[in-house]
Structure 1
């Protein structure tokens, strides 16, 4: 199950075989009133919503601003009730100083990942291990996350039930430039090599570019000269990641709240069932990933998942996970939401309806 998936009547899918990118159907609390994708999206209250009298809002208006600082400025000036901009620790602390805002802090399920295509030179485990050793994860935490960060294994740290312990990850992910250079020499690259790393252009999240620059700096210390190639987001997904059109790619994986999807990146069949985009295959690992998906006993499943991750780590790929940090959500104090902070982020309260159904505002 995934909270971003919606139930759509079969007759709707049959009526619109080309998809619903420009049409809105579903069973949610709001109905599409206006869609101007590059400007705004206006949602109106569903008068026949099955959880009537919910939703409490008459209108839900989404304003599209792609530049992060402008988006944050619009929130602070009162043009927006809820912040939609990426908030750094410094941004959040500044908002916390005011009684006008409510700011929630929670572990982020987004986790930065380097994807490696399993072809020369990255099909050589010595090269992959050298890259792993060249990455200074503590530097990543200090520079990118202002000193607040968690190490990630194949399953991100906030999934505490399924993730490997922090002490185990910190012991495994050593930073050793001398050993990295030795491994590159053994692999036939005593002077390093040049490569290109593709990443998406995300104007509203400059932190992605900052992370890529730091990766380039770390790998440069062992002679790996990385050229950064920014690709428009849509083209990155359709023409880079999904078809595996890269040698190196950098992209924060989505905030999965369950273990099956993060593990599927390492399965021979990938997330789509037709093959993964790195060309990585490990039949023994496939068996473990399949077994955990079929296991109903929670503790038995947990042991299988931990075993799978411990098999993945010494492979040093095809994905190398980097530390993540905390996320911040901010809203004006007149906005009320039925959520609570958990290890998996902001989660709906047990008696809350679907997203948006239990949001209300004071008269202002």
Structure 2
């Protein structure tokens, strides 16, 4: 229910007027018009990997037992409280009373158990499965309580649970039902999806956070052309362009009626190596690539200077990230890179293919990387498939190299364990390093913050120069809004959960 709103037309704010819901108090119904650059590749929260999908469902349609706020702190979500056993191997979560799914069914412990088991199921093949690797069993002693038994203590568990959406029971073996018809507990419920047109979300009138959401709905218009999005927010056709790159933000800076929010994001740009086949099964060649890369040049040329060179963890994670100055291969040295190529023993000339995420900033990055590696004696052919094919090739390890951007997390384990541990659920590189495996296992079970930080510092050092990823940069993330949009907070993990708090005045 939108309170204290005047009945008016909000075209200037990029909102549209709709009829108030039956039974709602007299108020203006605002549907906030957004413009996003890509159509999502499915909406199942346990299967999706693309940012375009994540942005639609995370914190808007779906919620987890815990939640992450704008300061990356973990707090209550669908669980209002929890207790942990002294040995750190048992968690009991007390669920919020009165929470319902968008289909009207009550959210109960059985739904939580089914959701977590779905993530862990081999048949579902969720990329999030590694986040529950320490879980031995999940049970519901009653409708309001969920108990997790762990094989060993798991320091990142509470953070991980914020990323695992709770869905209605009955989808445990269903890989298709939620892809186009998501059903969650969040502030907005799914209304309509017109492929390559828009996704419409409607207000959840039964939302458990009283007084929220303040909007009647959100319409996410799919507008691939950056210039069209820019004109739209400038004219008031769109109220918001969420999570835009530096090039778009630069064009909008100072435009009348438009304001920018920004933050250093957790997501990073990268070049990924297939370590299961030549030539990048050779760690010396992976080190050569890292040494040939000029990250400052990449940031200036492709990100318009809005970013910082990045290692395995974002500098935004001040409690965890190792300064890139400590990684020898991060100092651009073309002569050394050529020597490493020669010392690798890989037959020359070296010719490989790089699969590129179909997003403009990643295309720009790929072109700069292509030139830099060419100068070191590694000829790179660029291939840019459509998004669905890119994701399929990525999941199947069908690449020599790929250029992309990956999400980060407030806790290193959420990224490291699934990505770099042998058999990890997003270890598409087929990377295996017993030293890294042992460190990740120890750090996951470690309840001491200081020694855990030291272990992750060792992991970063092991991964930086000859791991399966050449980390490039962490960019500034921007959201452009009409000046009368209030209450929205930009989040470094790209979540749009603060749309629940957002309004657009005259």
Scaled by the length of structure 2, the TM-score of the pair is 0.63
Write the distance in 2 (CA, Å) between the matches of 1:7 and 1:154.
29
In 2, distance between residues paired with 1:191 and 1:227? 16
Query: Are the counterparts in 2 of residues 199 and 236 from structure 1 also a CA contact under 8 Å?
Result: yes
Check if 1:360 corresponds to 2:498. no
- The structural deviation recorded for 1:15 is 9.7
Pairing partner for 1:306 from 435, 446, 457: 457
| Aligned residues between the structures | 345
- 2:290, 2:329 within 8 Å by CA — same for their partners in 1? no
Does residue 75 of the first structure (1) align with residue 218 of the second (2)?
no
Given that residues 192 and 223 in structure 1 are in contact (C-alpha distance below 8 angstroms), is that contact kept between their aligned partners in structure 2? yes
Tell me the alpha carbon deviations over residues 131-181 of structure 1, each in whole angstroms, 9 at most, x when there is no partner: 111111121122123334322111222222111124324x54121111222
User: For the Cα contact (< 8 Å) 2:409–2:415, is it kept in 1?
Assistant: yes
> 1:151 touches 1:157 (CA, 8 Å); kept in 2?
no
Structure 2: runs of 5+ lacking an equivalent: 1-159
What SS is found at the alignment partner of 2:240? coil
**2:476 matched to 1:319?**
no
In 2, distance between residues paired with 1:184 and 1:84?
A: 41
Q: 2:391 aligns with which of 237, 252, 256?
A: 237
Match status 1:108 vs 2:265:
yes
Contact 2:204 2:213 in 1 (8 A): yes
- The aligned runs of 1:1-364 (5 Å cut-off) are 1=160, 3=162, 5-11=164-170, 13=171, 18-84=176-242, 86-88=244-246, 91-98=248-255, 100-118=257-275, 119-169=277-327, 172-188=329-345, 191-202=348-359, 206-238=360-392, 240-264=393-417, 265-271=419-425, 276-314=427-465, 316-339=466-489, 344=492, 355-362=498-505, 364=506
Structure 2 CA distance for partners of 1:335 and 1:223, relative to 1, 3 Å:
same
RMSD: 2.4
What are the Cα deviations for residues 185-241 of structure 1, in whole angstroms up to 9, with x where unaligned?
A: 233358531111111223xxx111110001100011022110111111111112x11
Query: Following the alignment from structure 2 to structure 1, what is the Cα–Cα distance between the partners of residues 258 and 266?
Result: 23
Residue in 1 that maps onto 2:20: none
8 Å CA contact retained: 2:245, 2:303: no
- Pair 128,31 (structure 1): closer, same or farther in 2 beyond 3 Å: closer
Q: 2 CA distance for matches of 1:232 and 1:198? A: 11
Measure the CA separation in 2 of the matches of 1:335 and 1:66.
23
Alpha carbons of 1:210 and 1:37: their partners in 2 closer, same or farther (altered >3 Å)? same
Instruction: Decide which moves more: 158-167 or 75-84.
Output: 158-167
| Distance in 1 separating the partners of 2:400 and 2:180 | 34
Unaligned runs of 5+ residues in structure 1 are 349-353
Partner of 1:249, secondary structure, is strand
Inter-CA distance 361–279: structure 2 relative to 1 (3 Å threshold): same
* C-alpha distance in structure 1 between counterparts of 2:456 and 2:334, whole Å: 31
Q: Which has the higher contact order (CA 8 A, sep 6+)?
A: 1
Contact 1:106 1:346 in 2 (8 A): no
